[in-house]
Chain A
Amino acid sequence: GAGVSQSPSNKVTEKGKDVELRCDPISGHTALYWYRQSLGQGLEFLIYFQGNSAPDKSGLPSDRFSAERTGGSVSTLTIQRTQQEDSAVYLCASSSPPTSGSSYNEQFFGPGTRLTVL
């Protein structure tokens, strides 16, 4: 079946411009995650959506970053007034919701959006 898809695959923008990154999760996955991976670094958690619950935004690095998930499916990550340090690969993942605090449902990742801020 179809995996997680993200668009665009690459985005080059000028400092100060706004960008929108899109994620289409696997059908039926109610949990959706955004991560950022800078060169040579591990994945940095940004935000988590689960169904209609309030999202966990604790990983967003500044108020220039925001994300929405409409209709419980597609999500958009918006970065306003981009800075050069925002250059990274932005990865989206989705999973089935955990059935308990101790369970784990595998997160499936999309191919990412490579953002370059000039």
Chain B
Amino acid sequence: RKEVEQDPGPFNVPEGATVAFNCTYSNSASQSFFWYRQDCRKEPKLLMSVYSSGNEDGRFTAQLNRASQYISLLIRDSKLSDSATYLCVVKVSGGYNKLIFGAGTRLAVHP
């Protein structure tokens, strides 16, 4: 079983739609959680951290459920420019910045 699992998609949605991605992680000692965005043939970039209380950044909302070991990302009012692969990322406790990446969920927003 992979440490971080995501639905690979693709999610094909029209502009203006609301779309949600889910992610599960297996290591209960996981400590910090993030969503990264990766455009085609580009490097990953941090989109947002995920906090236990849930957090919002503009059209993006992230949620964490530690009991279920589940993370989500909600995108409202999708834009064409949101088309990318969204990577669920987990930092395990202790040590350093060791990150475990999910394989990503691909989003395609069409006109």
Contacts and interface: CB of A to CB of B under 8 A. Distances in A.
Interface residues of B, number: 25
A45 B98 contact: yes
Contacts, number: 56
Contacts of A48: 96-98
B6 to A, nearest CB: 8
Interface stretch (A13-21, A79-87, A90-98): A90-98
Given A104-B32, A106-B46, A109-B44, A31 B96 contact: yes
Interface size class of A (residues with CB under 8 A): 20 to 34
Given A42-B87, A109-B43, A98 B31 contact: no
Contacts of B34: 104
A111 B46 contact: no
A50 B95 CA distance: 11
A115 B45 CA distance: 21
Given A44-B101, A98-B97, A104-B91, 5 more contacts: A35-B101, A42-B102, A43-B44, A45-B99, A56-B96
